[in-house]
Amino acid sequence: MQIIPTIELQNGRCVTLRRGRFDDPMLWHVDPVETVLGFVAAGADRVRVTDFDALQEGSGNDALIEEIIRKVGVPVQVAGGMRSRERAEYWIEKGAGQVVIGTLAARAPDEVKALAKYHPDMVVLSLDVAGGRLMTHGWTSESPMSPEALLDSFAEVPLAGVVITDIDADDSETDKQLGVISGLAGTTRHLVFASGLVDSLDDLSRLKYVPGIAGAIVGRALMKKTFSMQEALEIARPEYEETAGFR
């Protein structure tokens, strides 16, 4: 299982949100660049940066994200505010390893499919789900399309993967949310990464054995120092059974 550590930016600072509420962020007094470099030094082979300001139509974090892309030495997933093909291609041209697209995929799927075919394995489809419904525009609007229908429409598109975030995870039992995400994972052949479900090493241990889940996006637990990046990678490492030797 792959662990992708993430930082979430608002006004140039690392924050986390509860149930997508932008008006009440939890602020972390850490340097964004140094934080990401720390993840990489601990063994992360990919990182994710989510721009909350871009979700609200801002672009104040662009220079900071470009600095992260230049310095970290591993592929960077850039998420947040990819509301046009031009915006996604801007980040690809700036060196992003992958771009994460949600709202645009629901609103203009053909545009995103064309982008993914032109940039194979560089587009990550993002599904934000609340109460089984697909949410868009920074978790504020309900899409008329179901999560299952959106996944099905991208079945033959060369995506880098699919990130599924259950927005209800903050207020619900983890086992229930694992069921939601594993159910959706079972409907697609794409690699599926769970987001918003990991608050402890026990959560990671359970997620590791959920069919169809290729990895997890982990942010808040790393910021809270509930566990370290090294501990997360240790849990995620494949377990090999000993086999009898032949004489």
Residue 242 lies in a domain: no
Instruction: Write down how long the chain is.
Output: 247
pLDDT value at position 21? 67
pLDDT value at position 175? 62
The alpha-carbon radius of gyration of the chain (Å, integer) is 17
pLDDT value at position 136? 87
pLDDT value at position 56? 78
The parent domain of residue 68 ranges over 2-236
Residue 154 lies in a domain: yes
pLDDT value at position 244? 47
Report DSSP letters for 69-130, one per residue: HHHH-S-EEEES---SHHHHHHHHHTT-SEEEESHHHHH-HHHHHHHHHHSTT-EEEEEEEE
Catalytic residue check, 231: no
On whether the CB atoms of residues 187 and 161 are closer than 8 A, the answer is: no
Residue 244 lies in a domain: no
Q: Which pLDDT tens digit goes with each residue over 121-157?
A: 999 999 999 888 898 887 778 888 999 999 999 999 9
pTM here is 0.90
User: Roughly what angle, to the nearest 10 degrees, separates helices 201-208 and 229-236?
Assistant: 20
Please, which residues bridge with residue 3 across strands?
A: 216
Residue 59 lies in a domain: yes
d(CA 134, CA 144) in angstroms, rounded, equals 8
| Total domains in the fold of the chain | 1
pLDDT value at position 221? 95
pLDDT value at position 174? 58
Half-sphere exposure of residue 108: CA atoms within 13 angstroms, side-chain side: 11
At 231, which helix (H) or strand (E)? helix 229-236
- Buried/exposed 210-247: b ≥16 CB within 10 Å, e otherwise: bebbebbbbbbbbbeebbebeebbebbeeeeeeeeeee
189: left (phi over 0), alpha (psi -120 to 50) or beta: alpha
Residue 243 lies in a domain: no
Q: Which pLDDT tens digit goes with each residue over 94-110?
A: 999 999 999 999 999 99
The catalytic position among 53, 128, 166, 203 is 128
Residue 247 lies in a domain: no
The catalytic position among 8, 51, 166, 203 is 8
Residue 171 lies in a domain: yes
Residue 179 lies in a domain: yes
Domain with residue 210: its CATH number is 3.20.20.70
d(CA 246, CA 159) in angstroms, rounded, equals 42
Half-sphere exposure of residue 135: CA atoms within 13 angstroms, side-chain side: 16
Instruction: Name residues of the chain where pLDDT drops below 50.
Output: 171-172, 243-247
Q: What angle do CA 24, 26, 27 make, to 5 degrees?
A: 120
Strands (E), the chain: 2-10, 13-16, 26-28, 47-51, 76-79, 98-101, 123-130, 133-136, 141-142, 161-166, 192-195, 213-218
Catalytic residue check, 57: no
